[in-house]
Amino acid sequence: MRVRGCGPAAVGAGLCFAMLAACGGSADRDPPPRAPRVSPTATGESPPTTATGGPAVNGKVIVIDPGHNGGNADHTEQINKKVFVGNGYKACNTVGTNTRDGYSEHAFAWDVANRLARVLREWGAKVTLTRKDDTGVGPCVTERAAIGNRLHADAAVSIHADGAEPSGHGFHVIEPVAVGKNASIVEPSRKLGTAVRDAYRSGTGIPYSTYRGRDGLDRRSDLGGLNLSTVPVVFIECGNMQNPGDAATLSSAPSRQRMAESLAAGLESYLR
């Protein structure tokens, strides 16, 4: 997710996790001015899943990092605080982007994360989210990453939507590169990234990003959630909120359910 300015000053992309540093995409460019915030579309419950299978995730520990948070925009001093992300300092967290109609990235990520958690729990996985609601602040990307590390997660995924130029469309999965302590998880994270990429493309029909990465995959060293992780982890930019076609898909509840089920299938494939 390319991030918006927090108040008058723009903030760079935070990673979302600390799980994953709250951001992704080309986070250093500011998207269009923020539209009025809208309420999250999900609470803790999701509609019944139509996904089947998932024996490989039974008993596995999976951490889901819904990017950003609903209270970040009102607490810019707190989220702008610099934290060490393995190879430098970045903002604790960021605000995220939104569609032109005002559907926020933080609400999108929260909704998809809860739908995904429900599918995985039905399959027997032990699932933890890095934030408990969509009205709070943070946590910092360092803490998001630390959650997966403390739990010795079998896999972690950070959910985002990008704020790129409107001409760009499609999704991409971001994998880590070696930055200090994360070196041992780079290769398994690439396997996780490929599994998530393949399942998401097959399950949603959304094409690979036309503006970032190659064949739906990208690698970055500037995201704290990837740099600080000691468990296999990837970010996914599920689409570009500034592109009208992607925005319509991201704003659709049935589409978000398909995204969640596709992500679950990707995790199941990786853990098989």
Catalytically active residues, by annotation = 237
Q: Among 246, 251, 270, 235, which Cα is nearest to 14's?
A: 235
- Residues 91, 23 contacting (CB under 8 angstroms): no
Q: Among 210, 200, 221, which Cα is nearest to 157's?
A: 200
- In angstroms, the CA 94 to CA 91 distance is 7
Q: Which two tokens stand for residue 163?
A: 């704020």
Question: What angle do helix axes 253-271 and 186-204 make, rounded to 10 degrees?
Answer: 140
Question: What angle do helix axes 253-271 and 105-122 make, rounded to 10 degrees?
Answer: 50
The helix/strand/coil state of 227 is helix
Q: Which two tokens stand for residue 87?
A: 């190879």
Name every residue whose Cβ is closer than 8 Å to that of residue 124 and which is 6 or more positions away in sequence: 54, 57, 58, 59
